[in-house]
Amino acid sequence: MPELWLPGAERHPLGDTAPTDKQYAPRVIWHITWDKNGTATKPADLVPFGQLVRYFTGGGSGAAPHLLWDPFTGRTAQFYPANSRSKSVVDTAGGTRTNRTGKVCIQVETLFFPYCRVRGKTYATVRDTPAKGLSKILAWGRSWGVPDVWPMGTPTWNANRSERTWETRGGHYGHGQVPENRHTDPGPMPKWPTTGPKPKPGAPPFPGRQTFGPGKTNDSIFLLGQQLVRRGFGKHYRVGPSRAWGEADRLNVQDFQLAQNWSGADADGVPGPETWRRLFA
């Protein structure tokens, strides 16, 4: 089982844990603390890390995330284990379970506000920071099955939201992209560090529908499963993709097809040429 607590993070468990809705794909939500307002002409000094820890373990515990992350030092503090919901997004009664959606729904508060000043230098966006410690957080997310993708696009200050995408796609989301929320943070984020070989451009040749289905075992099934996970459509895998076709493969393919607004025979869970092309696009 992956680590419930980010290795190396300071632990400040709040208790008050609650399960997530594990039938949905795993995800990470990114915030900024935005505890001050700076401007290009009037920047403000960054708030000390310890002050935010005291806030989230005290009067601000009702809005605490899983992690507080300082992108200037790499320091992290954790308040909830990965398999619990946290409380940093609006969750309207009777609506989408925003704080709970996913096998994990890890929320990260980045110690930052626009035009903060650190050691005499001003930073307009999180993208401008050194982003120290980001790789460790991303690796922890991957260990829980979170793919390195932004299903609603990389964040900007102009937030867009799609409840359908939120409910069907795993990956990384900005606070402003979460349904029921009206925030616009975190703004532009750093580009994710890449690990391993870069994928070859273009889709691999479609091996034919006869390659997939009950009783089939081959490398194309494994390749399909890997790509489904990368695209955020792997929620039905209990362990992960394999070379043997299973019901989890069919359900994950069907989720992808339904996300294309297909129905009937076009969403039967068996990949055809167009499913394959779009999946690998």
The domain defined by 10-177 folds into Lysozyme-like (3.40.80)
pTM of the model: 0.72
Q: What is the pLDDT of residue 196?
A: 40
pLDDT of residue 12: 98
Asked whether 121 and 42 are in contact (CB, 8 A), the reply is no
Element counts in the chain: helices (H) and strands (E): 6, 9
Q: Which CATH number fits domain 209-280: 3.40.640.10, 1.10.101.10, 3.30.9.10, 1.10.167.10?
A: 1.10.101.10
Distance in angstroms (rounded) separating the CA atoms of residues 67 and 194: 22
Looking at 38-136, which runs of residues are DSSP E strands? 44-45, 67-69, 76-78, 105-110, 116-118, 121-123
Question: How many whole angstroms separate alpha carbon 269 and alpha carbon 221?
Answer: 13
Q: Is 28 helix (H, G, I), strand (E, B) or coil?
A: strand
CA distance 176 to 88: 12
The amino acid present at 202, given as its one-letter code, is G
Q: Measured between alpha carbons, how far apart are the two ends of the chain, in Å?
A: 31
**Rounded Cα–Cα distance for residues 236 and 247 (Å):** 9
Planar angle of CA 84, 88, 90, nearest 5 degrees: 110
CB 149 within 8 A of CB 115: no
Q: Mark the ranges of the chain whose per-residue pLDDT is less than 50.
A: 194-199
Where b means 16+ CB within 10 Å and e means fewer, 57-86 reads eeebeebbbbbbbbbbebbbbbbbbbbbbb
> Domain ranges in the chain?
10-177, 209-280
Q: In the prediction, which pLDDT does 219 show?
A: 87
Omega before 114 cis (within 30°)?
no
pLDDT, position 199: 44
How are strands ordered across the β-sheet holding 67-69?
A: 10-11, 76-78, 67-69, 105-110, 27-32, 171-174
pLDDT digits (tens, 9 = 90+) for 154-163: 999 987 888 8
Residue 197's pLDDT is what?
A: 41
* pLDDT value at residue 140: 95
